[in-house]
């Protein structure tokens, strides 16, 4: 290991491995370019390391004993605390993984939650949450998970939450590149890097014009907006999906699938993914910056003003 390189260890807890799969699709930079062009030394990644698990055993022992520095700890997956707080539903070397995470986090300069499960609990923490899953430093939207709210890493940061199910691949590699380059990360109220969680999925969506003119769809396979009836959460979900396309080509909304709000702490919400929950005739959650009292009047005026080309395009196959 070169002394001028930052060490990185990627540890999986309660996970589907989706964030690792997404990582392989990164292209700005790719994961290989990240390791070649930035001062990062990969100690371990469960799907990409060629060494046996015995090597991971040794690495973790050296890190915990203080003989091997750990700069970046990436955790993929929810923290499983069941049964009865023991964490023994999810173990490594006959010890609860949550305990390994605590020991490694104590030594790391930066701790990153790779995915909504690691950040907030995610899919595994959805009701009824049979294995008592939580996030690294948050439990859904509540501060405090495995680590208390006041916890800080060696570099002075809380857990850096790269939310998503999975995380956008370039969000992962760009954040790691920023850390390796010594750039100070600005975090939002959910400890997500503002660089990637300040814009809405709605921004850059090819269905925006239909949304503005209230051309809302009630079935899939058409061109209009999916917010009002089909469960799209893009107007109030922070992510780069439509400004940095997946694989440089597409996104959920471009493919005709509603945004599920997977970067949010309450994902997945206890409701249907393809139906918009409403209070009376109005969606229960409105686009950012929109006042409920003015929403219906605005929508009626917008629909009446819709250009003919928008209406005609709506009906195209």
Domain limits for position 249: 207-312
- 133 labelled as ligand-binding? no
74 is in an annotated binding site: no
Provide the 8-state DSSP code for 186: P
Residue 30: inside a domain: yes
Based on the fold, state whether residues 191 and 123 are members of the same structural domain.
Answer: yes
The number of helix segments (H) and strand segments (E) in the chain equals: 9, 13
Per DSSP, the three-state class of 10 is: strand
202 is in an annotated binding site: yes
**Does the annotation list 168 as a binding residue?**
no
Task: Evaluate whether residue 201 is within a structural domain.
Answer: no
Mean pLDDT confidence for 61-85:
98
Positions of E strands within the chain: 6-12, 40-44, 70-76, 79-80, 91-92, 95-96, 108-114, 133-134, 138-139, 142-143, 160-162, 278-279, 282-283
Residue 157 sits in the same domain as residue 238: no
Cross-strand partners of 200: 238
- The predicted pLDDT at position 317 comes to 43
pTM of the model: 0.94
Q: Which of 153, 170, 195 is the last residue before a domain boundary?
A: 195
pLDDT at residue number 1: 47
Rounded Cα gap, residues 159 and 33, in angstroms? 25
Is the peptide bond between 114 and the residue preceding it cis, with omega within 30 degrees of 0? no
Q: What is the distance in angstroms between the CA of the first residue and the CA of the last residue of the chain?
A: 57
List, for residues 19-44, the tens digit of each pLDDT value: 999 999 999 999 999 999 999 999 99
Structural domain count, the chain? 2
Q: Cα–Cα distances in Å, from 177 out to 6, 111, 228?
A: 11, 14, 38
């Amino acid at each position: 290991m070169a002394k001028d390189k930052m060490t990185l260890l990627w540890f999986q807890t309660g996970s589907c491995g989706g964030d690792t799969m997404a990582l392989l699709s990164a292209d700005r930079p790719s994961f290989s370019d990240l390791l070649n062009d930035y001062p990062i030394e990969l100690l371990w990644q469960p799907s990409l390391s060629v060494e046996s698990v015995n090597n991971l055993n040794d690495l973790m022992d050296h890190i915990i004993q203080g003989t091997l520095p750990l700069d970046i700890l990436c955790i993929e997956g929810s923290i499983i605390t069941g049964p009865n707080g023991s964490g023994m539903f999810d173990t490594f070397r006959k010890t609860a993984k949550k305990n390994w995470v605590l020991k490694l986090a104590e030594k790391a300069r930066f701790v990153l939650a790779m995915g909504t499960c690691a950040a907030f609990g995610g899919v595994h923490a959805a009701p009824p949450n049979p294995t008592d899953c939580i996030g690294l430093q948050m439990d859904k939207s509540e501060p405090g998970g495995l680590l208390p709210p006041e916890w800080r890493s060696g570099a002075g940061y809380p857990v850096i939450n790269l939310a998503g199910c999975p995380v956008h691949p370039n969000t992962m590699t760009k954040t790691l590149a920023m850390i390796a380059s010594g750039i100070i990360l600005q975090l939002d109220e959910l400890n997500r890097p503002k660089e990637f969680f300040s814009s809405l999925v709605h921004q850059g969506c090819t269905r925006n014009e239909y949304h503005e003119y209230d051309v809302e769809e009630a079935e899939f396979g058409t061109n209009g907006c999916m917010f009002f009836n089909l469960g799209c959460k893009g107007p109030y979900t922070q992510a780069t999906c439509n400004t940095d396309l997946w694989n440089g080509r597409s996104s959920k909304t471009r493919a005709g699938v509603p945004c599920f709000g997977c970067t949010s702490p309450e994902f997945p919400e206890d409701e249907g993914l393809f139906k918009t929950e409403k209070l009376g005739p109005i969606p229960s959650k409105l686009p950012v910056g929109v006042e409920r009292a003015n929403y219906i009047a605005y929508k009626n005026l917008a629909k009446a003003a819709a250009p003919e080309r928008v209406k005609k395009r709506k009906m195209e196959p």
